[in-house]
Amino acid sequence: MNQAFVMAPGVMPTPTLPAITALTRPYWDAAAQGRLLLPRCNACSRHFFRPEVACSHCFATDWQWVEASGRGTLYSHSIVGKAPAPGFVVPLVLAIVELDEGPFVLSNLVRCEHRDIHIGMPLQVQFDEVAAGIHLPRFHPRL
Amino acid sequence: MPHPRQATIVGVYQTQQARSLPGRSSQDLVIEAVKGAIADAGLDRRDIDGAAIDWPGPGGAPRDAENWAMYLKQPLSWVDSHHLDTAGVRGVLKAAAAVEMGLCDTAVVGSGRAGPFSADGASPGANMSMEFAEPYGSFVMAQFALVATRHMHEFGTTAEQIAGLSATIRNHGHVNPEAAMFGAGPYSAADILASPLIASPFHRLDCCLINEGGCALVITTAERARDLPCHPVHLLGGGMEFFQGNYANPPLYRDMRRLGHGAVQRAFGKAGVTPRDIDVFSLYDPVSFEVMRQFEMLGLCAEGEGGAFVGDGRLDLGGQCPTNLDGGMLAGSWTGTGQLTLKVIEGVRQLRRVNGARQVAGAELALISNAGSGAQHVELMVLGRA
């Protein structure tokens, strides 16, 4: 990037950027356009996550990226009080989100008071630009 | 009578374990530990023909156990080099398999660590290129926390129960002169809860240490052990279970509630005993919560009842299930891999009945565990006094 990146106000910084590979590049390219992609297996028709060379359900290597709803529910969470690495701003909420399509993903729960967090709460994805061109899917409460 | 080649632990050694060991290097610590364990066994270095020993360097290809051939028997008959194979239950089980199979006769397992854990101050597990975990602030303690939060949600386990268990284990370390946190207590559950939040429900004093130290042990055949000075400790059974690659995928309690059950069946089935027969427990405690989950895994209490089970002095010396009497990893030591081995060493010393003020009277059987739910793998073994 030629110009200096300036994070939008209110976006939680992420000093540890994703180690993107050729396999996962489509996921991050779509995220930059505000779309959440999931791998879906052409053999067993199930979604899976993380992206892998073969489907984690049936071991088939024939799969495609499909757009997901971006909806899910909170499966578990932890309020992190100690910065895991320099540059994180704490407290932050680490969350496991059960997506409506089936897979579970690690993410952050944002725009939610800690006292309002409860397991099972409906969530919606948002995309936070945390570095130039890197948009991180995070989740906020769905009303 | 044991089988002549039955794997038997005949030597153990741990260096000083402390937050900082000025002037020591990882290589220097592992050398002290290897020499110490061989001497404890009453053996000479040329008796050692198998090595699952870390090689921190400098010099030689980093991590490769082949480097040890210059110090031990040349040529070595068996080596194992992966960092989780040079320590703890996994290291000992693999060395034991090699000894019983006849690939080697006497093997050493060991490791040591000094110096900063990470160059930039990142917590363990926060800097492993986990593309879909670390950008969110994931690290090892937080992954265990994600399991604990769900356990609390499903069963009503409380932060006070977790803190009470942390206090129990830390108080064991408070009175163990070899523990890194010797004399730092005593602690109450309120003290634990008052320490800074790391990753809810865990506070700093619910979490294991990061410190320096080395340790090693020697495994040989039951037949060879008969001629050696220390009371032999037999490896009666072992089991391992790996759910998936750790720290890259979210740890779901839905899956982790079963983690370790197969390893328990395998280890106790081979040993021919049950968890109720165990006299002393040396359970992996990256966080105290994992100890209560393991009692559920062992079937010593029902799923969800671990929080109540670990209270009322049950885990203390003199209690029904004496556990982590050395202070475990919360107060004893955590060095990256050495704590895996120290779990075994504590069990061996209890079965030799040489553990002084924390000795469990008449100990015959010990259970050792490594890893746990947040790590998504479990290794277990049952040790028996010969």
Contact criterion met (CB < 8 Å) for A92 and B146? no
Mean pLDDT, residues A127-139 = 97
Using a 10 angstrom Cβ sphere, with 0-12 exposed, 13-18 middle and 19 or more buried, the burial of residue A42 is exposed
**What is the H or E stretch that residue B383 is in?**
strand B377-385
Nearest CA in chain B to A107: B136
Q: Which of B127, B131, B244 best tests the A interface by mutation, with the highest count of A CBs <10 A? A: B131
Contact criterion met (CB < 8 Å) for A18 and B250? no
What pLDDT score was predicted for residue B2? 83
Contact criterion met (CB < 8 Å) for A50 and B127? no
Name every chain B residue with its beta carbon within 8 A of the beta carbon of A90: 137
Of A16, A92, A105, the CB nearest to B126: A16
Mean pLDDT, residues A61-86 = 97
* Exposure letters B102-133 (e unless 16+ CB within 10 A, then b): eebbbbbbbbbbbeebeeeebbbbbbbebbbb
Nearest CA in chain B to A134: B135
- Residue length, chain A? 143
Quick one: pLDDT band at residue A116, thresholds 50, 70, 90?
Answer: very high
Mean pLDDT, residues B135-140 = 96
User: Do residues B265 and B229 lie in contact, with contact meaning Cβ atoms separated by under 8 Å?
Assistant: no
The single-letter code of the amino acid at A64 is: Q
Longest dimension (CA), chain A: 45
Give the contacts of B149 (CB within 8 A, at least 6 positions apart): A76, A77, A78, A119, B200, B201
pLDDT(A1) > 70: no
pLDDT(A2) > 60: no
Contact criterion met (CB < 8 Å) for B136 and A108? yes
Name every chain A residue with its beta carbon within 8 A of the beta carbon of B126: 16, 84-85
* Residue B166 to residue B203: CA distance in whole angstroms: 10
What pLDDT score was predicted for residue A3? 65
Which among B116, B316, B143 is positioned nearest to B211, based on CA atoms? B116
Of B122, B131, B199, the CB nearest to A78: B199
Contact criterion met (CB < 8 Å) for A75 and B252? yes
User: Do residues A107 and A83 lie in contact, with contact meaning Cβ atoms separated by under 8 Å?
Assistant: no
CB atoms closer than 10 angstroms to residue A126: 18
Of A20, A88, A96, the CB nearest to B252: A96
pLDDT(B252) > 60: yes
Rounded to the nearest angstrom, the minimum Cα separation between B245 and chain A is: 11
User: Do residues B53 and B82 lie in contact, with contact meaning Cβ atoms separated by under 8 Å?
Assistant: no
Contact criterion met (CB < 8 Å) for B199 and A104? no
CA angle B148, B153, B154 (to 5 degrees): 100
Mean pLDDT, residues B377-386 = 97
Name every chain A residue with its beta carbon within 8 A of the beta carbon of B134: 16, 18, 84-85
Mean pLDDT, residues B16-25 = 97
What is the per-residue pLDDT across B149-159, written as a single tens digit (0 to 9) for each? 999 999 999 99
The mean predicted confidence, pLDDT, of chain B is 96
* Residue B170 to residue A77: CA distance in whole angstroms: 26
Nearest CA in chain B to A77: B146
pTM: 0.97
